[in-house]
Structure 1
Amino acid sequence: MSKNNFIPVNTPLLDGNELKYVTECITTGWISSEGPFVDKFESALAQYTDRRHGIAVANGTAALDIAFSAIGLKKGDEVILPSHTIISCILQIIRIGAIPILVDSELKTWNMDVDEIESKITSKTKAILAVHLYGLPCRIDKIIEIADKHNLYVIEDAAQMIGQTFNGKPCGSFGHISTTSFYPNKQVTTGEGGMCLTNDDDLANKCRSFRNLCFQTESRFVHKELGWNYRMTNIQAALGLAQVEKLDEHVVLKRKIGNKYSELLKDISGFNLPLMETEYAKNIYWVYGIFLNENSKYNAKEAMLLLQEAGIATRPFYYPMHLQPVFQEDKLFEGQEYPNAEILYNRAFYIPSGVGFTENDVEAVSKVLIDLFKV
């Protein structure tokens, strides 16, 4: 396959009111965070996720930073989260001086193993970060049950799962604060962007303050707390509103792509396909993951390199937190083992599946995989 036919790992779909709304921003001059589309976008996604408040921010990492500060996370507090996740989840915990407490993952769903959580709770535990990964939500019901029992905060990282449900209830609606991302590979994209979602008035006000440098209403330039300039622009929000209008269609497309892959790849013995569903959710296929099994001729790095040579982009699964060089230097997780997180990194990766992906693209990628893994 030539470079001209290279298939990227993600292709966004911008075929709704995106151009119309962005043009309105430009023609009216409202391009900053003060523009009207910010409120419209916040209201639309809050309504979609059954939340009272949406607070749009610059990106998904910013949403996590703000959420941890809003719940009052302090130095010495502990936060439970999976080792197998993106580094954004841990950054503000570390910077505050709080302590990340890791749990391992399930090999079937690729999500955090909730059965490990309760044994990690101490008198210092402040919160659980519930991270939904790849296409199926984590067991958020059990996480909330544990958190309620121990009087802990729950932050739901729904970055990959907007449009998904857990037992019929929308992801993004669970816990004290939910966070999301609008990077181009998400079901809703603003290029860069994120949002905090909550039903709590006090937490919502804190999130709004932290995203806007903690300006005060009465004395704007007198600051009692330190915040960030994490505001979203009106242009980004205009894109986001148009994307929310098409969200249900994007979810249908994601599932269509995932189901087509599963149909075409079902007879390959070298890897396991994503679960199509569990008792609490049907896979939304945020990405289509390939989990190499004992019959595989390759590890993840080898397979990804061969696919790249064939003109197909891939991405690895996350590198485990306990192995990150930046944390090993400080001996943060010294002596800790999370074997499933390591297995997922070494044996799993994902293939192209953006909402702008076509059936021909699915067939082209599948053909290469079938040829690559044929006995």
Structure 2
Amino acid sequence: MDHFIHETASVSEKAVIGTRTKVWHYAQVREHAVIGSDCVLGKNVYIDHGVKIGNNVKIQNNVSVFNEADIHDGVFIGPHVCFTNDKYPRSITPEGDLKSATDWKTYKTVIHYGASIGANATLVPGVTIGKWACIGAGTVVTKDVPDYALVIGNPGKVVGYVTEQGTRKVEPDQTQHHTIAIAKPIIGEEEKKAVMDVLTSGNIVQGEKVKQLEDQFAIFCGTKYAVAVSSGTAALHASLYALGIKEGDEVITTPFTFVATANSILMQNAIPVFVDIDEETYTIDPQKIKEKITPKTKAIIAVDLYGQIYNYTDVKKIANEHNLKIIEDACQSVGAEQNGLRAGNFGDLAVFSFYATKNMMSGEGGMVVTNNEQYAHLVRRFRFHGQDNHTKYEYQDIGYNYRMTDMQAAIAIEQLKKIDMFTNTRRRNARLLSEGLQNIPGIIVPKVKNGKHVFHQYTIRLENFHRTRDELVEHLKKNNIGSNVFYPCPLHLQTNFKRFGYQEGDFPVAEKVSMRVLSLPVHPSVSEEDCTKIIEVLRNV
């Protein structure tokens, strides 16, 4: 005998078993099944009549392969996989009679060369799985699967593509066009369903979902209060209002940040007073703050740039000495930590942005967090045209329509559930990039000094690199890798702020790094293979 059949197995005399194929304990192979050479059928496998199996196929324990299945060479089928063949299974006919074989309509399922099907997967009738495709464990395959596709979930969805060795890659016919984007919002079925639930409810504007988000976000940050608003800019503006910042007051901040940080000061008719930054962290330099404090100075906006919390200990000491308030601009640092506390705890108030490319997002949106009840009350009033929730059409002071909608809140609630996963992936990608880039002459990788960095941006700095930044950007672009400069011009050199008397040379560190920094893709959609490509492209400039 040129094959092996265990004594407990049941193999029909009318079945065809190829050479060197092994059929193990309690397996059943029915009539007219055809099994090729060098196959392995594990314990308790069921092969229905008429099934066709090619060469070098491995079928693990407890798999059921029903009639009409056509399994090509080199296929792997994990434990407990089930091939179904009847789209409308019934035991009896409409008349109540037990169904016979002639009452069933079966559908052909085809598994092409080299495909793998993970444990406990189920294949609905009539699907075709392409060559070298990979079906994740527990997946329910409801439609055809392309060649090399990676499919997971119930129902199964294509989430990527794999190599012939099983490692991740991009779709074969798009390899040359796949761009590793500098940013990419991650929107899952949970977010879509949450929005549709809100739309279906009819309660679209600020309501229960906003309140739920506020409660959950306060718990996440570890603060007493959280107030949702329409954007990070609105959060900054509302926080300055809550602190009583008014015309003529001075607010110290950094020129190396997004313009909203300083614009919010102008929105209160106050004066932005810039100070230089630390060259390693790019956050505000505490020692430079002292030089700019005057009797008009009322507050400091300290920015957690790129996902790293600023030097709170030293800034807080200065603020206490001069009776100044602090706003933590945490728009880029949700989930970052310092001294065991999360971002949101490093100011009298802290603000977050949920813009589309932030670490968690709601399309547009923002949040103010604080441990001060009065500040929370003033922010709530400010976002609602100056009226309290319980005194409708009674306006206590100026206010704006800075409210968040329940649709935005619904998205943010789902994103908050995933933020730890998002953060872990960003930090993994940052670690891989730093390990691969740190020894390349002329590239300075990010310096983590102040606790847990969450890498909203992964930003390198070029020092005596053998290409200009513009040349490097173009080289990355030609290799389908996105990049961006955050920020190409410090705020004190922008037209809107030059009117305060600022000029080139005032903040040499900010000016220098603005000409040398470059941010690379680090978001959760960046794979380990993408990180490897980024490193190799930079090594081979």
Q: TM-score if structure 2 supplies the norm length?
A: 0.65
Q: Which residue of the partner structure matches residue 307 of structure 1?
A: 476
- Indicate conservation of the 8 Å contact 1:300/1:316, yes or no: no
Task: Choose which of 290, 296, 302 in structure 1 pairs with 2:460.
Answer: 290
Alignment of 1:203 onto 2:375: yes
Per the alignment, residue 150 of structure 1 pairs with 322
The structure 2 residue matched to 1:97, chosen from 269, 272, 282, is 269
> CA contact under 8 A between 2:337 and 2:453: conserved in structure 1?
no
Partner amino acid, structure 2, of 1:99: I
Q: 1:281 aligns with which of 451, 461, 465?
A: 451
The Cα offsets for residues 182-226 of structure 1, whole Å up to 9 and x where unpaired, read as 112222111111100011111101101111111245653343322
Return the letter of the residue paired with 2:199: I
CA–CA distance in 2 between the matches of 1:50 and 1:122?
33
Contact 2:265 2:271 in 1 (8 A): yes
2:356 and 2:477 mapped to 1: Cα distance?
21
**Structure 2 match to 1:362:** 531
For the residues of structure 2 that align with 1:114 and 1:300, how far apart are their CA atoms? 29
Bigger Rg over Cα:
2
User: Relative to structure 1, is the Cα distance of residues 322 and 112 closer, same or farther in structure 2, using a 3 angstrom cutoff?
Assistant: same
> Are the equivalent residues in 2 in contact too, given 1:11–1:357 (CA < 8 A)?
no
Q: Aligned in 2, Cα 1:26/1:266: closer, same or farther, shift over 3 Å?
A: same
Q: Hey, what's the Cα distance between the residues in 1 that align with 2:394 and 2:176?
A: 55
Q: Measure how far apart 1:339 and its partner are.
A: 0.6
Is 1:247 the counterpart of 2:416 in the alignment?
no
Structure 2 CA distance, aligned partners of 1:363 and 1:161? 25
CA spacing shift, 1:3–1:93, aligned 2, 3 Å: farther
The count of residues paired between Structure 1 and Structure 2 equals: 367
Matched to 1:350, the amino acid is S
Match of 1:229 in 2: 401
- The 10-residue stretch of structure 1 (157-166 or 1-10) with the greater mean CA deviation from structure 2: 1-10
Quote the residue 2:521 is aligned against. Answer: 352
Shift of 1:335: 6.7
3-state SS of paired residue (1:315): coil
Corresponding position: 1:320 with 2:490: yes
Q: Does the 8 Å contact 2:332/2:456 carry over to 1?
A: yes
What is the match of residue 196 of structure 2? 23
Q: Is the 8 A contact 1:75 1:97 kept in 2?
A: yes
Q: Supply the distance in 2 between the matched residues of 1:285 and 1:248 (Cα, whole angstroms).
A: 13
Kept in 2, the 8 Å contact 1:317–1:344? The answer is no
Gaps of 5+ in 1: none
Q: Using CA pairs below 8 Å that are at least 6 residues apart, which structure has the higher relative contact order?
A: 1
Pick from 331, 340, 343 the counterpart of residue 509 of structure 2: 340
| Residue identity opposite 1:18 in structure 2 | E
Counterpart contact for 2:505–2:511, Cα < 8 Å: no
What value does the CA root-mean-square deviation take over the aligned residues? 1.9
| 1:181 matched to 2:181 | no
Distance 1:157 1:177 in 2: 9
User: Whole-Å Cα distance in 2 between the matches of residues 4 and 31 of structure 1?
Assistant: 39
DSSP 3-state at the match of 1:76: coil
What residue in structure 2 maps to residue 53 of structure 1? 225
Cα displacement (A) at 1:356: 2.0
1:43 aligned partner: 215
Q: Deviations over 1:146-204 (max 9, x none)?
A: 11121111100011111110111111112111000011222211111110001111110
Distance in 2, matches of 1:192 and 1:217, equals 23
How far, CA to CA, are the matches of 1:335 and 1:190 in structure 2? 38
Q: 1:205 to 1:336 in 2, by over 3 A?
A: farther
For 2:525 and 2:355, the matched residues in 1 are separated by: 14
Partner SS state of residue 540, structure 2: helix
Supply the distance in 2 between the matched residues of 1:26 and 1:343 (Cα, whole angstroms): 49
Higher helix share: 1
* One-letter amino acid of the structure 2 residue matched with residue 365 of structure 1: I
Residue 307 of structure 2 aligns to a residue whose secondary structure is: coil
Report 1:65-80 matches (<5 A): 65-80=237-252
Letter in structure 2 aligned against 1:340: V
Question: Kindly tell me: are residues 262 and 217 of structure 1, through their superposed partners in 2, closer, same or farther at Cα, counting changes over 3 Å?
Answer: closer
Is the 8 Å Cα contact of residues 288 and 350 (structure 1) preserved in structure 2?
yes
Q: Given residue 224 of structure 1, which amino acid in structure 2 is its aligned partner? A: Q
CA distance in 1, matches of 2:351, 2:391: 29
Could you tell me how far apart the structure 1 residues matched to 2:201 and 2:394 are? Answer: 32
Greater mean alpha carbon deviation, residues 38-47 or residues 221-230: 221-230
2:343 aligns with 171
| Alpha-carbon shift at residue 69 of structure 1 (Å) | 1.0
Residue 440 of structure 2 is aligned with which of 257, 268, 284? Answer: 268
More strand by share: 2
Identical columns (%): 33
Give 5+ residue unaligned stretches, structure 2. 1-173
Any conservation in 2 of the 1:53–1:197 contact (CA below 8 Å)? yes
- The structure-2 alpha-carbon separation of the partners of 1:218 and 1:63, relative to structure 1 and needing over 3 Å to count, comes to closer
In structure 2, distance between residues paired with 1:15 and 1:283: 25
Q: 2:283–2:303: 8 Å Cα contact kept in structure 1?
A: yes
Q: Is the 8 A contact 2:459 2:520 kept in 1?
A: yes
